[in-house]
């Protein structure tokens, strides 16, 4: 099987122009076929504050009303996506920027939760990889923004970690997939205030214990939930760690390696 890197970038790296440029240089040099999936939640939150659009987060997930949907579509599928693509081009990495709506890549439905209305938040129904495969085979790198659609004309805001997991699962039948979550931390931390307290290996039972003890919380929860789902669906390898250690993460020499058992 051909190797495929699916790398999700988020956190403070997206917001820090210099850190993002350094990451793009490292990403561009990777010789493998690769897909980059990005979030941008912190930038969207800052813009929402400037525009006086109230924001609500629940366990790291954004409640998306109609105005927030417009905002995240502009930020994710517009500014951030095209900035990343432009920087990749500047580093001789020929890239195409897409959202989940393009080529019907990601169809989703509005989240149904009896206890809480998440607004226009999408849960993934299907991933069509034909367009992505075509671009990869042609030598392009693909950059995906986490805006999806319900096949009836409605845009939906979908968690970028979830998008990364679902795309990785869809490719796992045809490729040896290594899913990497990149952010500003060294990995999954025992102490969020100590960047040197990262866990080298994390399995599902240990994750459940750390979550119950509230050592793992907030935005790390959906990231890890998605990681374990991807493992059970056939993704070969999952790593989490610092964006600027990308080469080491690809080699398995840095960050946290996620295993089910």
Tokens of 95: 């890239």
For the stretch 32-46, pLDDT in tens is 999 999 988 788 888
Q: What is the pTM of this model?
A: 0.92
Looking at residue 261, its pLDDT comes to 79
Looking at residue 97, its pLDDT comes to 98
Confirm if 214 and 42 have CB atoms less than 8 A apart.
no
| CA quadruple 234, 85, 187, 247: dihedral sign | positive
Looking at residue 43, its pLDDT comes to 86
Which string of b and e fits 34-63 if b means at least 16 CB within 10 Å?
bbbbbbbbbbbbebbeeeeeeeeeeebbbb
Distances (CA, A) of 56 to 41, 65, 213: 12, 10, 24
Looking at residue 60, its pLDDT comes to 65
For the stretch 11-63, pLDDT in tens is 788 989 999 999 999 999 999 999 999 988 788 888 999 999 988 888 667 89
The SS3 of residue 11 is: coil
Q: Would you kindly state where each structural domain of the chain is located, as residue ranges?
A: 2-258
For the stretch 118-174, pLDDT in tens is 999 999 999 999 999 999 999 999 999 999 999 999 999 998 989 999 999 999 999
Confirm if 184 and 22 have CB atoms less than 8 A apart.
no
Looking at residue 112, its pLDDT comes to 93
State which CATH number among 3.90.650.10, 3.40.1160.10, 3.40.50.300, 3.40.50.2000 fits the domain covering 2-258: 3.40.1160.10
For the stretch 190-247, pLDDT in tens is 888 887 888 999 999 999 999 999 888 777 887 788 889 899 999 989 999 999 999 9
Looking at residue 254, its pLDDT comes to 93
| CA quadruple 211, 215, 217, 222: dihedral sign | negative
User: Closest by alpha carbon to 6, among 204, 209, 230, 185?
Assistant: 230
Q: Is the pLDDT of residue 104 over 70?
A: yes
More reliable by pLDDT, 42 or 6: 6
């Amino acid at each position: 099987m051909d190797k495929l890197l699916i790398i999700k970038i988020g956190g403070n790296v997206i917001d820090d122009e210099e850190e993002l440029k350094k990451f793009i240089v490292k990403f561009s040099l990777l010789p493998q076929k690769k897909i980059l999936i990005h979030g941008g939640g912190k930038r969207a939150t800052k813009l929402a504050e400037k525009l006086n659009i109230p924001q609500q987060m629940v366990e790291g997930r954004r409640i998306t009303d109609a105005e927030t949907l417009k905002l995240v579509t502009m930020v994710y599928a517009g500014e951030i996506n095209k900035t990343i693509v432009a920087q990749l081009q500047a580093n001789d990495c020929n890239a195409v920027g897409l959202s989940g709506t393009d080529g019907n890549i990601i169809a989703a439905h509005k989240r149904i939760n009896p206890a809480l209305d998440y607004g226009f938040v999408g849960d993934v129904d299907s991933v069509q990889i034909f367009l992505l495969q075509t671009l990869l085979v042609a030598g392009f790198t693909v950059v995906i923004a986490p805006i999806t659609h319900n096949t009836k004309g409605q845009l939906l805001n979908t968690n970028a970690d979830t998008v990364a997991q679902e795309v990785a699962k869809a490719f796992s039948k045809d490729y040896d997939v290594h899913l990497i979550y990149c952010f500003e931390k060294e990995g999954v931390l025992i102490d969020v205030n100590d960047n040197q307290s990262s866990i080298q290996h994390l399995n599902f039972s240990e994750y459940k214990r750390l979550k119950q003890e509230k050592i793992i919380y907030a935005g790390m929860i959906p990231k890890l939930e998605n990681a374990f789902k991807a493992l059970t669906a056939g993704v070969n390898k999952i790593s989490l760690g610092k964006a600027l250690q990308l080469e080491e993460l690809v080699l398995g020499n840095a960050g946290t390696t996620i295993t089910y058992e």
